[in-house]
Chains A and B, each alone.
Chain A
Amino acid sequence: MRGIRGFVIRRVLFGLVTLFVASIIIFAATQALPGDAARSILGRNATPDSLAALRDQLGLNKPVLQQYWEWLRGVLTGDFGNSLAEQRPVTDVIGERIVYSAFLMFLAAIISFPLAVALGVASARRRDGPFDHVTSVVSLALAALPEFIVGIALVVLFATSVFHVLPGVTIIDPGTPPWSHPKELILPTITLVIAVTPYTARIMRASMVEILESDYVEMARLKGLSEQLVMWRHAVPNGIAPTFQVIAINLAYLAGGIVVVETVFNYPGIGAGFVDAVHARDMPVVQALALLIAALYVVLNMLADIATILVSPRLRTSLK
């Protein structure tokens, strides 16, 4: 297969294969491991009858491959089975929560992405100056902090010990849309923004510095072009590709970060749901959410790769 279309198709296929293998890993980790899943769910004091019943319910008595096939078939048709903890379809459980997570990620993304790009470009233009030094150290420190540390620190500062301005724990009625609870969203969003922005800003800065110090930017200056033209016609177009990488990394980080951040603030999204399910050994939910998050990761990386190729003329023409 040749050309851009071929490349895109190959990349998508590869993404699907990765996801497929990932699903095998998830399934293997949760159901095919040696040791009795039923026993570890019900605990040591379970009666043989309840164990047998659970094993039957989970389909653990069937051959492993058949179990996997049935699960996969279910996934592809949108049936993830029933939640063990809540005795209702997993899709219902996820469905309620996913809007909350999506909205939170969306808020964090629209703040952090432009912020990261702006900071990265600004630092690159003023590199080695005071602004750059300060930003560099601060972003290094913030990027290093675990998300839950940032979250708890914000809770300490704004919800409990220092100020009492914002709720440290969200109490939201299920069924109400997330945007109707602005106050509860503030701290989780800020936590995510702080978790994600510094890292991506540093990547942006590095890419911009490479561009600003390139031979072609120097040549543009030597032709007597205005600084505006040098930046916008010569520097920025080469900065788009790294920006796509940054978006993808940004979002991927968010997808991983919501697990902890939602738990810290008791925010009813799929991240907190995932942790609850793990605590409760609610396997169908664990499988479904793990697959969902993995799918998100894979899709984001795939989009970033494809976008990078489309945006770079050299790569584009080399594929023709």
Chain B
Amino acid sequence: MTDQAIALDAPAVRRQRPWVILLRATWGQTRTKVGVVIVLALVAVAGVGPFFAPYAPDAPVQRAHGEYALPFEPPSSAALLGTDNIGRDVLSRFLWGGRSVLALAALSTLLGAVLGIAVGLLAAYSRGLLDEVVMRTMDVVLAFPQLVFALVLVATVGPSLALMVFAVGITTMPRVARVTRGAALEVVERDYVRAAEGIGVPRRRILFGEILPNITSPLVVEVTLRLTFNIAVIAALSFLGFGLQPPAADWGLMVNENRQGLLVGQPWGVVMPVLAIGLLTIGTSLIGDGFSRAAIGIEGGRGRT
């Protein structure tokens, strides 16, 4: 009778591949489900919303008899959420306004994540001088709050979407690199990496085949966190007037444009985008937290009896 015969009655759950176990554990939590629902709903609004918008985003609201609506009119049959600061339909602009935030945040996070992971892995595996140099460079970029860095660039070049993606992406990179390096350093010391080195596996294979698959948990958590922050930064940049320029429809921009409406009893131009941005960041944050708890739950399974 061998060892094997006994181990075969390991419970079915544990037979799954590691990433499936992580996904199941993440999904198993209420907060993840809530987060996913929220994010999907808002992505739907942003993505598909424009098809349902009664007006074009820069079209003024017209009443039945052809007269134009005034700015900051309360909700009516012509404009379900009322009008904005120059008489456009709040609902339509809201439905159109999500795409930019989502796309820019997603792109910049992707840029930062890819660069950051590459840099972090390189630093962790190389150790010594290269590690020092690379991480010190990252530290310099980290000396700036993301928003400040972006604003400095905008001051020179002027508002531009590519610039936003670049600035936010570049400032995301060192944050992701830090976490990647930290996680990778633990793995680099493990025996299975040594074993691979010992038989002469080429460096790149070791980085992507041995190390990277073992740090996916902390990376997923960090990237989701970064996405949450980047949505906030991008929205803030638009709010401050450095993102999409009027007359474009953008949630961040709307919050700023329609502030006067709060004083005259037409809050919807502000409230809708505020709710949307707020819920979006809460949603991504819940998902990230779900991953984080799932990863901790899986790691923490060991104990002495």
Give residues in A with beta carbon < 8 Å to B: 14, 18-19, 21-22, 25-26, 29-31, 33, 35, 37, 40, 137, 140-141, 143-149, 152-153, 155-156, 159-161, 168, 252, 255-256, 259-260, 263, 274-275, 277-279, 281, 283, 286, 290, 293-294, 297-298
Given A148-B255, A274-B148, A293-B145, A35:B157 Cβ within 8 A: yes
Closest to B167 in A: A29
List 19 extra interface pairs beyond A25-B140, A30-B156, A290-B151, CB under 8 A.
A21-B140, A37-B156, A137-B31, A140-B286, A141-B285, A143-B285, A144-B282, A144-B285, A146-B232, A147-B232, A149-B235, A149-B274, A159-B262, A160-B267, A161-B265, A255-B145, A256-B146, A281-B156, A290-B144
Cβ-Cβ contact count across A and B, 8 Å cutoff = 138
Q: Report whether B140 and A18 are in contact in the complex, using a CB–CB cutoff of 8 Å.
A: yes
Q: Is the interface of B mostly helix, strand, loop or mixed?
A: helix
Give residues in B with beta carbon < 8 Å to A: 31, 136, 139-148, 151-158, 228, 231-233, 235-236, 239-242, 255, 259, 262-263, 265, 267, 270-271, 274, 277-278, 281-282, 284-286, 289
Q: Report whether A145 and B152 are in contact in the complex, using a CB–CB cutoff of 8 Å.
A: no
B37 CB, min distance to chain A CBs, angstroms:
15
Q: Report whether B286 and A290 are in contact in the complex, using a CB–CB cutoff of 8 Å.
A: no
Q: Report whether A146 and B144 are in contact in the complex, using a CB–CB cutoff of 8 Å.
A: no
User: In the complex, what residues of B have CB within 8 A of residue A22's CB?
Assistant: 140, 143-144
User: In the complex, what residues of A have CB within 8 A of residue B136's CB?
Assistant: 14, 18
Closest to B252 in A: A148
Closest to A149 in B: B278
Q: Report whether A259 and B145 are in contact in the complex, using a CB–CB cutoff of 8 Å.
A: yes
Q: List 22 A-B contacts (CB under 8 A).
A: A18-B139, A18-B140, A18-B143, A26-B152, A29-B153, A35-B156, A40-B157, A137-B31, A146-B231, A146-B233, A146-B236, A149-B232, A152-B270, A152-B274, A153-B278, A160-B263, A161-B265, A252-B145, A256-B148, A278-B151, A290-B144, A294-B144
User: In the complex, what residues of A have CB within 8 A of residue B239's CB?
Assistant: 148, 260
Q: Report whether A278 and B145 are in contact in the complex, using a CB–CB cutoff of 8 Å.
A: no
User: In the complex, what residues of A have CB within 8 A of residue B154's CB?
Assistant: 278
User: In the complex, what residues of B have CB within 8 A of residue A21's CB?
Assistant: 140
Q: Sort A-B residue pairs by CB-CB distance and give the 5 closest, nearest first.
A: A256-B145, A146-B232, A144-B285, A160-B262, A144-B281
User: In the complex, what residues of A have CB within 8 A of residue B152's CB?
Assistant: 26, 29-30, 278, 286, 290
Given A29-B152, A260-B240, A145:B278 Cβ within 8 A: yes
Given A141-B282, A255-B145, A259-B151, A147:B289 Cβ within 8 A: no
